[in-house]
Amino acid sequence: MSTESIVIVGGGLAGATAAKTLRAEGHGGPVILLAEERHRPYLRPPLSKEYLLGKADGDALPVVPAGWYAENGVELRLGAPVTGINPAARTVSVGNGQTLDYGSLLLATGARPRRLPLPGSDLAGVGTFRTIDDSHHLRAGLAGGGRNVVMIGSGWIGMELAAAASTYGNTVTLLGLEDVPLGAAIGPELGGFFRSLHEANGVRFRLPASAAGITGTSGRVTGVVTDAGEALPADLVVIAVGVVPEVSLAEAAGIAVRNGILTDPSLRTSAPGVFAAGDVANALHPFTGGHHRSEHWSNALNGGKVAARAMLGLDAALDTVPYFYTDQFDVSMEYSGFPTLIAGPPTIRGSLEDKEFLAFWQRDGRVVAGMSVNWPRSAKPQKTIKQLISAKTAVSPDVLADPGVPLDRLLPDA
């Protein structure tokens, strides 16, 4: 086993999981984790859900317990942004002017919220949402209820934040460029399901609509003007219009970048000894034969593991079926699959009205993606959906829709 020095840039889930995997696989050499944020690596999904709602405490967030780094000889440097990398010399530069040598380097720099060049977006009360500090800040603004909140963005984060804001008793209006929220992600029928869920809980939609400007007095936000000229009152505005992969270090170093850092299935970049994982990596996926950049928790977890193993010269490929989840009001949703392969509308098993259903998307008769909403976990729907996708066997939509046919009966060796 190698004893080379491994440097990890980025203290998110991918970076911390890589450090954990390096030690679990027996790597005895130095491991240095350089993190720009001042918090130890933590999970982001609860930030817009149970943590924002005050239903989970800080103990639910850390990727590993605080003492783990010292106990396992991982040098964790917080508040240490990397300012440059030199793949030819195998060095990284840190903010304090210091240069560190590496044998292998992992870029796990994640993504940053996309910003809008909107007049008024620098007013107090207007923000984006990505970090634990953002969650603390927004919770303080939402918790008392009774405020006007405008959410700009109809994707997963905008919808989760709208749900939390409304649950606290605020008046929430959501603007988005799509006809239906989440339409780009899950199509009009299921996007419509989430819209109805939100409307039943008091959220108001302006779709399609964009923000033309944000107004304020004395440096503080008072409203949002839409492109249709409507003036919406606002005490708080969140801009949740997607993220941009943080590729600046790779780009400056001449590493191949296209919608993220390009990698092979083992997460090797175009520079020898440099790997990328998590939101920043656009990895070649063996299942689709195309590059795939995922902005989901399980991709950062699995990517961190794969990159660590590959850095140690072990067999490793990121070949799992992508997975993510969301919780909004009384709906828990899980999704597995390859959105880029979907051809046509979903087949539904169960009832949208009762908020308990499965949805399957197909291509050439094969299941390529599947969603479960409030489906009993004991039935392990996601495990079976992933197996169905991997099996690549054709299944008739009638059978998929039939609640009388147990899901696992659809697997080829059942």
Ligand X SMILES: Cc1cc2nc3c(=O)[nH]c(=O)nc-3n(C[C@H](O)[C@H](O)[C@H](O)COP(=O)(O)OP(=O)(O)OC[C@H]3O[C@@H](n4cnc5c(N)ncnc54)[C@H](O)[C@@H]3O)c2cc1C
Write out the residues near ligand X by the rule CB under 6 A. 9-15, 34-37, 44-45, 47-48, 81-82, 108-111, 129-130, 157, 246, 249, 278-279, 295-298, 300, 324-326
In the bound state with ligand X, the residue whose beta carbon lies nearer, of 299 and 362, is: 299
CB of 398 to ligand X, least distance (A): 31
Strand (E) positions, 22-170? 31-34, 74-77, 82-86, 91-94, 99-101, 104-107, 111-113, 126-127, 148-152
Query: Nearest approach, Cβ of 308 to ligand X (angstroms)?
Result: 13
Q: How far is the CB of 161 from ligand X (least distance, A)?
A: 8
Separation CA 205–CA 296 (nearest Å): 26
Q: Which two tokens stand for residue 390?
A: 């991997």
Answer for the pair 383, 374: CB distance below 8 angstroms, yes or no.
no
Distance CA 214, CA 204 (A): 18
Nearer to ligand X, 130 or 400 (CB): 130
Task: Rank residues 208 and 339 by Cβ distance to ligand X and give the closer one.
Answer: 339
> Closer to ligand X at the Cβ: 271 or 395?
271
Q: How far is the CB of 406 from ligand X (least distance, A)?
A: 27
Measured from the CB atom, the residue of 294 and 387 that comes closer to ligand X is 294
Are the C-beta atoms of 8 and 18 separated by less than 8 Å? yes
- The least CB distance from residue 9 to ligand X, in Å, is 5
The tokens for 253 are 């170093």
Tokens of 122: 């620098």
Nearer to ligand X, 235 or 279 (CB): 279
In angstroms, give the least distance from the CB of 44 to ligand X.
3
Q: Please say which residue, 47 or 321, places its beta carbon nearer to ligand X.
A: 47
Give the count of alpha carbons within 13 A of 375, CB side only: 26
Of 19 and 410, CB closest to ligand X: 19
Which class for 201: exposed (0-12), middle (13-18), buried (19 or more C-beta within 10 A)? middle
Minimal distance in Å, beta carbon 41 to ligand X?
8
Kindly state the smallest distance separating residue 237's Cβ from ligand X, in Å.
16
Are residues 1 and 26 in contact, defined by beta-carbon separation less than 8 angstroms?
A: yes
Strand segments (E) across 219-312:
220-226, 231-233, 236-239, 243-245, 261-263, 274-276, 281-284, 291-292
CB of 129 to ligand X, least distance (A): 6
Residue 104 to residue 108: CA distance in whole angstroms: 13
> What single-letter amino acid sits at 345?
P
Q: Between residues 21 and 48, which has the closer beta carbon with respect to ligand X? A: 48
Yes or no: say if 259 and 226 are a contact pair by the CB < 8 Å rule: no
Give the SS3 label for residue 303.
helix
